Structure 1
């Protein structure tokens, strides 16, 4: 299993808007991709800034490439997401999961 990790920042209102976008658009789109397993949207509030971390789990790098294209480390950030965020990484990190329960 491969974990795909991405980071962004937002205002509290932007984080709320991003969460709405994530629930309404991102998750349904991901569920349609063969090899997608699950997604986590996490936030860490730091006063006027919210750090956002998205972690998705995939069966293989092939499934990720089918989703993200080539190169697979390019972040997929739709215009609706961009408008809610202050900053975001344009690339992602991939991790091979070695233990899970």
Structure 2
């Protein structure tokens, strides 16, 4: 399995709206891809800036390609991101998931 992590920064005054955008637009986009196992959006406020991490788990590189295209490490952006983001980081990070455990619901 692959864990894909994207980082973005917004002005803190726009962070609530951006979080809502991610929930309503980005999460359904991820979930529509066969092979996406999980999506988490994390937020950390730091002064006047808010950091967002999108953490997704995928069954394989082929599944990531269905989402991101041929360049697996290239970040994927939406046109609406221009309203929120302070910069556009060109790449994401991938990690192999070597162990995991979850508490049953």
TM range (shorter): over 0.9
Equivalent-residue separation in structure 2 for 1:13 and 1:68 (angstroms): 29
In structure 2, the partner of 1:35 is 35
CA RMSD of aligned residues (A): 1.1
4+ residue stretches of structure 1 with deviation over 4 A? none
- Residues 38-93 of structure 1 show CA distances to partners (whole Å, capped at 9, x for unaligned) of 11111111110111111111011110011100111111110112321112312111
Q: For residue 70 of structure 2, give the secondary structure of its aligned residue in structure 1.
A: coil
Q: Count residues in correspondence.
A: 101
Structure 1 gap ranges (5+): none
Gaps of 5+ in 2: none
Is 2:7 aligned against 1:20? no
Specify the structure having the higher radius of gyration (Cα).
Answer: 2
